[in-house]
Amino acid sequence: MTQARRAWVGESVPRFEDEALLRGRGRFMDDLAPVPNAGHAAIVRSPFAHATIGTVDASAALAVPGVRGILTGEDVLALSRPFPAGIESSVPYYAVANDVARYAGEPVAVVVADSRYIAEDAAELVAVEYDPLGPEEVTVHERSFSYGAVDAAFETADAVVRWRYAFPRWTGAPVECFGVVADWRDDGLTAWANFQGPFTLHSVAAAALGLRGTKLRLITPPDSGGSFGIKASVYVYVVLMGLASRKLGIPVRWTEDRLEHLTASAHSTGRVTDVEAAFASDGELLGLRYDVTEDVGAYVRAPEPATLYRMHGSLAGAYRVRNVAVRARVVLTNRCPSGLNRGFGGPQLYLALERTIDRAARQLAIDPAELRRRNLVQEFPWRSPSGGLYESGDYVACLAAALDLVGYDERRREQAAGRTIGIGIACVVEPSVSNMGYISLALGPDERAAGLPKSGNVEGCTITISPLGGIAVALSTTPQGQGHRTVAAQIVAERLGVAPDEVEVSSVLDTSTSAWSVASGAYSSRFSGVGAGAVAAAADKLATKIDTIRKHVGEDISLRRVAGMCHWSPESLPPGMEPGLSALAFFAAPNLEPPDPDDRVSSSGSHGFIADVAVVEVDHETGSVRVLDYVTVHDAGRLLNPLIVEGQVRGGFAHGAAAALFERIVYDEDGALLTGTFIDYLCPTAPDLPEPRIAHRESPQPSLPLGAKGLGEGNTMSAPAALLNAVADALGIDELELPLTPPRVWGALHA
């Protein structure tokens, strides 16, 4: 009999992932030995930020007992091609440096030995001739965009606000580092790696290896120890270890250590934004101009220059302004190549925009909350000037709720009474489910027209019901802690009339057997939009088939019975029905199109909204920022699992607050990395990190089957702006830069 259907979606179902992890039975990359006899790799890395490379003498290293072979730049040049990227660059990017090393930590050679210990011993003996060069900055990309009548807006403005904002490099620093096992055989590569997608990068890796796609079999482990975007860049090491395996004829295992991770995995871009904003005297935001310079490091590494364009549809943020212009530039520097990092372009955009709103409020003598309220988008669906489609929301209500929760008026009264607190607001549109076509904005309309138009964000899911009625779901969303298995079980359970714990979900992606697509992976907070959509679509297919069979039988037979018929007695099925009981479904956000000829694009399939209010107090003696309160009101549409939602919000906030108050990648003038350990790269711990108060509104997204929008990155985008606004408000000074560490705040006070 079918059970009474229960609405599992929306319930705080505790995670099925947890038990194994709590028992120490997780299966992370370095726990696995998928092939026997793998050699252990250590990488020889350039100590110089920029240097020509002369001879690489590996003879002493090769003589170390236990060493199984060495891969050098010469080999890599012979065996591979440069990694392709979204824009042409004068500097080809290979898995190791050949003639020139372009950042400190860049791989120069790989030593493979019987153990990592021996490999590190031998790596020290590889003699590399370096001839240091001076630092180099090259602009490799520039495009300008203008929407509406920007110049006219500035001509008629009553007030113009200008400022420059720098968002430093920082990095997600997952506690688990990169890991790869590479096994070259049968003219192809099988690699296990804690890669997170997007699987567009699978094609990039295959191209570098000179393999057609099916010859690069990439398999992810069941568990991954955090990523926050960073592990998208593992693919470079899949290629590197694949080449080592190819040359040496043995499988090669490489587990990145923390020094390597902080030096050479991936950082966020470093961005400098000049903003000009035109306002009418009543506070109406009339126009925005951005001039953005993006430091992507030593190479344009795919998917860069995506950071630059990820927010393109949301350049106007949450505001109604119709006139927006941006000039976007990409600069190569002698630093670690940038890559995905939680927020990906959002923290940088909103720091500039939301700080500008606060400065304008002061200049116009309008309360910053009121100024925002007057400008917030109020009609939905809303098409932003640069093309973003905001389908649903109630931004004004969210802001009002946040102000109410934080006791805004009372806090302002305290401030007026002389308490040296600061209040900072940030209103941000949180995009999720990246449009795979936005990156083609880097090309002009004519260039785009010449190629395949790209758009959408496809995800796949397979559900198989066994002969005994067991339900197995295979995801291609490569989670790193986001609870995809649990939420998928909820969705399938609800649609098939079972309990979630009767649904087995696997998150192992194997490119040879999984239902995956270019967009697959865990990034741009895409699970609740398209990941869940694919699960629902596959479950719906099965539910329809099961329903048809039940009608055919004329009885409400059990799922087990239905499964039995499909597997054991196909002749009993309705005429013409396919035997077996399995469904494969792909789902794409239905509202995404390629950039239009005027460069408009909805760069994301989904747009949530967040209103944050931070209240801080600054210790003028030490410069310490104490967060007295932090309220965040979210509208991410329908919440699929509130327990997991809360975790995502807290995690997103932790990264945003860390960028605001602690973390920064620092290089010296010679390009040496100064924050290469966890002693100097300041990840906050429990005593250091403030705690947000969280509230939700739910405006479901009409175009998505579950109505849920992404929410994993919003507070990473909003918190740096809200906290900077709060500290600036407390101190009454503008010359503040992230992170707001005590010495830097004190320095600004005494500048």
**Min dist. Cβ of residue 100 to other proteins (A):** 26
Q: Is 46 in the site for other proteins (CB under 8 A)?
A: no
Q: Using the rule CB under 8 A, which residue among 674, 702, 734, 735 binds other proteins?
A: 674
Alpha-carbon distances of 506 from 388, 522, 560, 586, 737, rounded to whole Å: 34, 14, 21, 17, 44
Q: Using the rule CB under 8 A, which residue among 82, 213, 222, 226 binds other proteins?
A: 226
**Min dist. Cβ of residue 301 to other proteins (A):** 22
Contact 41, 241 (CB under 8 A): yes
Over the window 457 to 496, marking each residue x when it contacts other proteins by CB under 8 A and - when it does not, the resulting string is -----------------------xxxx-------------
Contacts (CB under 8 A) with other proteins, residues 605-644: 621-623, 643-644
**Min dist. Cβ of residue 483 to other proteins (A):** 7
d(CA 42, CA 687): 36
Q: Using the rule CB under 8 A, which residue among 223, 430, 459, 599 binds other proteins?
A: 223
**Min dist. Cβ of residue 648 to other proteins (A):** 8
Q: At a CB cut-off of 8 Å and minimum separation 6, what does 631 contact?
A: 402, 405, 406, 612, 613, 614, 692, 693, 695
- Closest to other proteins by CB, 556 vs 688, is 688
CA quadruple 510, 513, 517, 522: dihedral positive or negative?
negative
Over the window 78 to 117, marking each residue x when it contacts other proteins by CB under 8 A and - when it does not, the resulting string is --------------------------------------xx
- Closest to other proteins by CB, 15 vs 448, is 15
| Run of H or E residues at 464 | strand 458-465
Q: Is 65 in the site for other proteins (CB under 8 A)?
A: no
- Options 27-35, 181-189, 327-335, 631-639: segment touching other proteins (CB under 8 A): 27-35
One DSSP character per residue, 581-608 reads: -EEEEEEE-TT-----TT-----EEEEE
Over the window 496 to 515, marking each residue x when it contacts other proteins by CB under 8 A and - when it does not, the resulting string is --------------------
Count of chain residues binding other proteins (CB under 8 A)? 74
**Min dist. Cβ of residue 176 to other proteins (A):** 5
Q: What is the DSSP letter of 616?
A: E
- Closest to other proteins by CB, 438 vs 662, is 662
Alpha-carbon distances of 370 from 282, 305, 358, 570, 617, rounded to whole Å: 11, 36, 11, 67, 22
**Amino acid at site 433:** V
Contact 457, 200 (CB under 8 A): no
Contact 534, 584 (CB under 8 A): no
- Closest to other proteins by CB, 124 vs 670, is 124
What's the token pair of residue 208? 């570098």
Contact 182, 244 (CB under 8 A): yes
Q: Is 445 in the site for other proteins (CB under 8 A)?
A: no
Q: Using the rule CB under 8 A, which residue among 1, 3, 5, 18 binds other proteins?
A: 18
- Closest to other proteins by CB, 173 vs 239, is 173
Q: Is 733 in the site for other proteins (CB under 8 A)?
A: no
- Beta strands of 79-227 (E only): which ranges? 100-101, 107-113, 127-132, 138-147, 159-167, 179-185, 188-193, 216-219
Q: Is 228 in the site for other proteins (CB under 8 A)?
A: yes
| Run of H or E residues at 654 | helix 642-661
Contacts (CB under 8 A) with other proteins, residues 146-185: 172-177
**Min dist. Cβ of residue 42 to other proteins (A):** 9
Q: At a CB cut-off of 8 Å and minimum separation 6, what does 341 contact?
A: 170, 171, 172, 228, 229, 230, 266, 267, 268
